[in-house]
């Protein structure tokens, strides 16, 4: 992963999930739940339980969209 890919996901304003090399996933429901270090080598992801996770960019393997199609909800 690159810093610019993470920045693009944050700037989209859409929810997404960070996929890690160890198989773990970190959900980012809103841009307020993630911050990027000044050099872009780490991100910090926050959750609703006041926990946070510092994740090295080098161990990220992908970004998955967490958006749902509103037309399919409630059917």
User: Is residue 8 assigned to a domain?
Assistant: yes
The domain total for the chain is 1
pLDDT of residue 67: 66
Q: Please tell me the predicted confidence (pLDDT) of residue 71.
A: 37
Residue at token pair 């399919």: 72
Virtual CA dihedral for 34, 39, 42, 47, nearest 10 degrees?
Answer: -20
For residue range 5-59, what is the model confidence (pLDDT) as tens digits? 999 999 999 999 999 999 999 999 999 999 999 999 999 999 999 999 999 999 9
Whether the per-residue pLDDT at 70 is higher than 60: the answer is: no
Q: Are 41 and 58 in contact (CB under 8 A)?
A: yes
Asked whether the whole model's pTM tops 0.75, one would answer yes
Phi, psi angles (nearest 5°) of residue 34:
-145, 145
* 72 in a structural domain: no
Look at residue 75 and tell me if it is in a domain: no
Whether 73 is in a domain gets the answer no
Q: CA nearest 31: which of 50, 56, 12? A: 12
Q: What is the CATH number of the domain that holds 32?
A: 2.30.30.100
Q: 15 lies in a domain?
A: yes
Q: Which domain holds residue 62?
A: 3-67
The answer to whether residue 30 is domain-embedded is: yes
- Spatial contact of 14 and 70, defined as CB atoms under 8 Å apart: no
């Amino acid at each position: 992963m690159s810093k610019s890919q993470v920045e693009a996901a944050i700037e989209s304003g859409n929810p997404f999930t960070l996929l890690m090399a160890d198989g773990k996933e970190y959900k980012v429901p809103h841009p307020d739940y993630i911050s990027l270090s000044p050099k872009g080598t780490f991100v910090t992801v926050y959750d609703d339980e006041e926990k946070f996770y510092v994740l090295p960019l080098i161990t990220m393997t992908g970004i998955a969209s967490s958006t749902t199609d509103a037309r399919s909800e409630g059917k």
